[in-house]
Amino acid sequence: MAQNKKKPIKITETILRDAHQSLIATRMTTEQMLPIVDKMDKVGYHSVECWGGATFDASLRFLKEDPWERLRKFRDGFKNTKLQMLFRGQNILGYRPYADDVVEYFVQKSIANGIDIIRIFDCMNDLRNLKTAVTAANKEKGHAQVALSYTLGDAYTMDYWVDIAKKIEDMGANSICFKDMAGLLLPYTATELISAIKKAVKIPVQLHTHYTSGVASMTYLKAVEAGVDVIDTAMSPFALGTSQPATEVMVETFKGTPYDSGLDQNLLAEIADYFRPIRDEALESGLLNPKNMGVNIKTLLYQVPGGMLSNLTSQLKEQHAEDKYYDVLEEVPRVRADLGECPLVTPSSQIVGTQAVFNVIMGERYKMVTKETKDVLSGKYGATIKPFNPEVQKRCIGDVKPITCRPADLIKPELKTIEAEMSQWKEQDEDVLSYALFPQVATEFFKYREAQKTKVDPAAADTKNGAYPV
């Protein structure tokens, strides 16, 4: 690209979703976020990623908050900025595939409550698992972005990425994102990848990565020079480590170049000042593990995302088998190869990781097989890029005939049944969806919500003494 031609880099801010999901297990509360929304709204971000991913589950399960209420409050506060969410294709924000009617209703309600951009991905990069969500987002006049889970392996050639990008454009997606969850995309590969994709498609291309392996900022630099349209960054107090490169650093990097974002460093500094005490508090309470802040080069050696590494450590601890850590790390790529070389991202990363732990601890591979491993080998998660290892498949599922259709084709509409099942708790349409995704967790939350009503009458509350009449 000619150096004199201006192409300001656009920035998606992740501090309200992926940054705290990656560093402090998604524990930032709505109350902690709302006071800074007004300032963030003045920055001029391309979008703010603030919903979806694990925030939905964590809000209900750990924070006793209604995720829909959080979204509506964000929408009220962000008057000029697009709001973005992460959506796991047919799995929505849960851990199993749902019927099309649930997917469509969830997309509809997300957009109605304030989401502008839905980033949709599938852990297998099986485009059939994305189609329903993309079509629904288009129908609701939302922006459907398809995210490809970036991974390595001899099947993942430049031709593979270019070919799948063209299919995504044909499917009706408004933009494409490369989601590099493990920080595997190296700087010079990024030049090659982004140049090839920009030649192949007309829709905008975005790049999302994690700092885990230490190369992310350099990768962004090369990607921007190669013509990427948007990058994902996090405000510095919650950047680096298993999170994204820092927003202020990227803004400064491109200052005075054709890629100058034009964002105001003084305003960004005020936002960083706001989040710093929240980070320090998380460090003191032990919620933020300093280990998550360093470079973990094992991600490049074993292609294991940061979140998966911490999962493996805790599983081995429970089994009193911490000495088997490196054996498990070496077993992960072997299990992944047996399972058709799928990308490692929720939920496939958990499935492969857990199976690797069992294979090592049992002292015999596939002596004990999880239900999820069987489901992958039965085709219930979708098609993989390479065939499964036939011996492993035979050993794990025996004579079961694997499915070859789109997994959701076998799921009957389930919205009406779900609604009937939870009707006693329903206070808003969205409650049906919270229950659909997490029946037990949502029920606990509904009970808590009910209890709060009887407990506190704000009008009668004695604010001076801090006592609440029951």
pLDDT at 469: 32
| Distance in angstroms (rounded) separating the CA atoms of residues 254 and 225 | 10
- The pTM of the full predicted model, rounded to 2 decimals, is 0.93
Give strand ranges (E) for 65-174: 83-87, 117-121, 143-149
Distance separating alpha carbons of residues 285 and 469, to the nearest angstrom: 32
Three-state helix/strand/coil letters over 384-409: CCCCCCHHHHHHHHCCCCCCCCCHHH
At 383, phi and psi to the nearest 5?
Answer: -85, 140
Q: Are 169 and 205 in contact (CB under 8 A)?
A: no
Residue 457's pLDDT is what? Answer: 55
pLDDT digits (tens, 9 = 90+) for 6-43: 999 999 999 999 999 999 989 999 999 999 999 999 99
The CA distance from 349 to 123, in Å, is 9
> What would the two tokens of residue 207 be?
């790049």
- Burial class of residue 162 in the structure, from the number of CB atoms within 10 Å of its CB (0-12 exposed, 13-18 middle, 19+ buried): middle
Q: For 62, phi and psi rounded to 5 degrees? A: -105, -30
As averages over each run of 10 residues, the pLDDT of the chain (470 residues) reads 80 97 93 98 98 96 97 98 98 93 98 98 97 98 98 95 98 98 96 98 98 96 98 98 96 98 98 98 92 84 78 86 92 96 90 96 97 96 96 97 96 98 97 98 97 68 39
C-alpha–C-alpha distance, residues 255 and 249, integer Å: 10
**Tens of pLDDT, residues 185-218:** 999 999 999 999 999 999 999 999 999 999 999 9
Q: What is the pLDDT of residue 301?
A: 82
**Token pair listed for 256:** 């005075």
Strand partners, 119: 86, 145
pLDDT single digits (tens) 316-330: 988 999 999 999 999
Cross-strand partners of 405: none
